[in-house]
Amino acid sequence: MTQFAAAVTAMQTESEFAKAYDGGIHKSKYWDPTYEDILNLIARLPEVAALIYRCTFKDGKVAPYDSTLDFSANFNRMLGYSSHSFDELMRLYLVIHSDHEGGNASAHATHLVGSTLSDPYLSYSSGLNALAGPLHGLANQEVLNWILDLQATFKQRGKEVNHDTIREFAWETLNSGKVIPGYGHAVLRKTDPRYSAQRAFALKYLPDDPLFKIVGTIFETVPDVLTEHGKTKNPWPNVDSHSGCLLYHYDFKETNYYTVLFGVSRAYGALSQLFWDRALGLPLERPKSLTSDWINEHFAKK
């Protein structure tokens, strides 16, 4: 993810908005070069992301663009995958991770930096750095690691994967002061529809996959544990509960790269919001500041 954010920043030297701003463009026209930057950046992201993957984990070679394929299939060929069902997964993945509401950290970081009139390259690289955090895009990696740890622990203990053993493992996790990753959401108060979309995909393409079966049993067990635990407002699964096991099924096991996939997808949501910021002429975003006198006035004991 560090390489990806650095690469997006490095491409800023080709920003149409930066050139237009230096040339004295009227503020009513800011949207035009912003739009060009956004289209250029979205078009370049798959090859840049694939180059990082191939150089980090494989032979450094990236397949050329194929005009007969769509965006997702081209991205997969560049990564080195040719399965048609994986093409379907990537289409689903890129759509459901593009955005879910503008208040998420990566979209908001992009908006915040963009409100200073930084161009889309600089703005989105900031969004990528927000996406890299474990409370945001890194969560799907943590979910998968928790599931793999569960699987390995059960194998070591000679236990079967069932509702009782998963309930026991869930309580072990909570009692050790840790959280069960992939459950709960700051906004949603029901099962994440993106989770449901991935589950429907798995039922169609990989119903007998061992990790998928574990994910399904967790889904049937953990909400009751979290409800009994009492500290989670939303005990239902979010998008991260499912995405890792799907990628793992297709032998895409380099978990440190998962946030880069998220970054390719989130560009659609964060950058389209940035376009509207420029089109509507939204102002610089400033957080509200409070003085100590204000705090004393409102909260001091009378």
Same domain, 100 and 39: yes
Q: What is the pLDDT of residue 187?
A: 65
Distance CA 203, CA 210 (A): 12
Distance CA 219, CA 215 (A): 6
Under the banding of pLDDT at 50, 70 and 90, the label for residue 185 is low
**CATH assignment of the domain containing 30:** 1.10.580.10
Q: pLDDT tens across 26-70, in order?
A: 999 999 999 999 999 999 999 999 999 999 999 999 999 999 999
Strongest mean pLDDT among 28-32, 175-179, 210-214: 28-32
237 bridge partner residues: 183
Same domain, 46 and 128: yes
In a domain? residue 53: yes
Per-residue pLDDT at 231 exceeds 80: no
Same domain, 179 and 210: yes
Same domain, 152 and 17: no
Q: pLDDT tens across 98-125, in order?
A: 986 667 899 999 999 999 999 999 999 9
In a domain? residue 120: yes
Per-residue pLDDT at 258 exceeds 90: yes
**CATH assignment of the domain containing 216:** 1.10.230.10
Same domain, 114 and 259: yes
Under the banding of pLDDT at 50, 70 and 90, the label for residue 139 is confident
In a domain? residue 302: no
Q: What is the pLDDT of residue 239?
A: 85
Per the model's pLDDT, the better-predicted residue between 200 and 190 turns out to be 200
Question: Which of 34-48, 181-195, 248-262 is least confident?
Answer: 181-195
Under the banding of pLDDT at 50, 70 and 90, the label for residue 8 is very high
In a domain? residue 6: yes
In a domain? residue 289: no
Read off the pTM: 0.89
Same domain, 123 and 270: yes
Helices (H), the chain: 2-10, 16-22, 31-57, 71-79, 84-96, 105-114, 120-131, 139-157, 163-175, 193-205, 210-229, 240-249, 258-279, 292-299
Q: How many CB atoms lie within 10 A of CB 17?
A: 27
Percent of the chain with pLDDT over 70: 97
In a domain? residue 30: yes
Query: 3-state SS of 127-168?
Result: HHHHHCCCCCCCHHHHHHHHHHHHHHHHHHHCCCCCHHHHHH
Residues of the domain holding 185: 139-249
Question: Residue 67 to residues 41, 64, 70, 75, 129: CA-CA distances in angstroms?
Answer: 18, 10, 8, 12, 31
Domain count, the chain: 2
Instruction: Check: CB of residue 89 under 8 Å from CB of residue 246.
Output: yes
Which residues form the catalytic set? Answer: 136, 185, 240
Q: What is the pLDDT of residue 117?
A: 97
CA terminus-to-terminus distance, the chain: 51
Half-sphere exposure for 215 (CA within 13 Å, toward CB): 33
